[in-house]
Amino acid sequence: MKRIMPRSLLSMLHAPHKLEKAMEHSSEASAVVRFNDWLAVRMTVLFGSIWCVYAFTVFSLIPMVAPGWQNTLLYISNAIQLIALPALAVGSAILARSSEARADADHAALVEILDDVRQELMELRSLTSGIAANQAQDATGGTTMNVSADTFIAVDNIAPDASGQR
């Protein structure tokens, strides 16, 4: 049997994992609610595809070939609009609910990372607060920094390298 719809449209209609997460429900949700959400999301994906645009373009050109069908096609067009518009609104609301949940999870993760960075910054400040207090003048008049009990770094008297730069 020959396939009527293109492969890309068929794959879009068959359970993409991102759309499944958008339709997650609590265990109390009835089968009717789950089916309604599934259908609304599928219709949103279908009506939001370029193949639907092509189909409606061809549909709108039929009266040019068969003018006698214009009243029937107008009725069909109105019926499609009456069905599609509410379905698109419901599907968009379901997808927005998923997007909002994802944004909340991202926000919580970013707040946790910010708290970690703030804690590490406080630890670094406490570790480096003693460095400025341990500066002293060495015998040559240069400034040294005591980084630890055994290490001294001469800050002012850095010998020039081969290029003459310090």
Q: Are residues 19 and 88 in the same domain?
A: yes
- What are 42-82's pLDDT values in tens digits? 999 998 899 999 999 999 899 889 888 889 989 999 999 99
- Whether 41 maps to a domain, the answer reads yes
- pLDDT under 70: residue ranges of the chain: 1-28, 130-166
The tally of domains found in the chain comes to: 2
The answer to whether the beta carbons of residues 107 and 57 sit under 8 Å apart is no
Q: Which range of residues forms the domain containing residue 14? A: 7-129
pTM check: above 0.85 = no
- Helix (H, G, I), strand (E, B), or coil: what is residue 136? strand
Q: Are residues 112 and 166 in the same domain?
A: no
